[in-house]
Amino acid sequence: MLIYGKEVAAKTLEKIMAMTADFESKYSRKPTLAVIIVGEDPASQTYVRNKINGCKQVGFNSLSYEYPDGTAQEEIENRIKSLAKDETVDGILVQLPLPKGYDEEKILSNIPDSKDVDGFNASNIGCLCLGRPRTVSCTPLGVMSMLESTGVDLNGKNAVVLGRSNTVGKPMAMLLLNANCTVTVCHSKTRNLADFTKNADILIVAIGKPKFVTADMIKEGAIVIDVGINRVDGKLCGDVDFESVEPKTSFISPVPGGVGPMTISMLLYNTLMSAIARENER
């Protein structure tokens, strides 16, 4: 069976829209997301455009700051510092990856916890690791919501995560661990990768290599979530060789139409939660 992120996301978006209308009537303002992009990477530009469109769709304000590659690190940090102080801004997002030469960690460290809607800063990651999540990264959160939509009990399942990025692999592993899965994280230095993946009841793939995961690596009846978005000969494909893998799975997410739409709905959810929390703290 296919897990269409678009359908799961649509339900979340409906809830967000209703809650946003309540928020606006209660506080006489809209939740506001500020998005910063540096450089001209076309994929990043598309993601940012989709995020801004998502804001419009659910009734948020959005602010967009576009800097050419080569802009001084300090200028970007100063922008974040001013957005951090701005009472009307609920969330600050810096689209990653930044072009070469920027100190990503230092830039992100200027985003206060209360506005870190990507859940990338050290204290939000720390809380997730301690099993008391606050703001959680959007893509892994979206994957959990897709897994939930299958109705399958996650307790005690063998979950294998391919990829160990700070944005997907690591928080993904923590969420699955918090959901009582037995979690293995594999990466580019893992030996005999298929020995691990063939034992996976749940396989999450986030490595950025087109069609890397093939049918011989899959356990019969597995749930496979493909986080990869690759462009090959002008067409989008995931990290999983969908045609060969799909028949062996109980559930699989397609690319496109799988994880992508979930990431945006979770970002909007995190922004709304941040707006509500900030109003409650006033």
Interface with ligand GUN by CB under 6 A: which residues?
93-96, 118, 138-139, 167, 263
Residue 55 or 222 having the CB closest to ligand GUN: 55
Q: Token pair for residue 85?
A: 């102080």
Closest to ligand GUN by CB, 92 vs 160, is 92
Of 111 and 245, which has the nearer Cβ to ligand GUN?
111
Closest to ligand GUN by CB, 162 vs 245, is 162
Q: How far is the CB of 81 from ligand GUN (least distance, A)?
A: 18
Q: How crowded is the C-beta side of 224, counted as CA atoms within 13 Å? A: 34
- What is the nearest approach in angstroms of ligand GUN to the Cβ of residue 138? 5
Provide, rounded to whole angstroms, the least separation between the CB of residue 275 and ligand GUN. Answer: 18
Residues 6+ apart with CB under 8 A from 32: 60, 61, 62, 63, 88, 89, 90, 91, 271, 275
Other C-beta atoms lying within 10 Å of the C-beta of residue 100: 7
Query: From the CB of 136, what's the least distance to ligand GUN, in Å?
Result: 11
Alpha-carbon span 241 to 243, nearest angstrom: 6
Residues that are catalytic: 51, 95, 118
Write the CB contacts of 110 (distance below 8 Å, at least 6 apart in sequence). Answer: 77, 80, 81, 84
Map residue 229 onto helix, strand or coil. coil
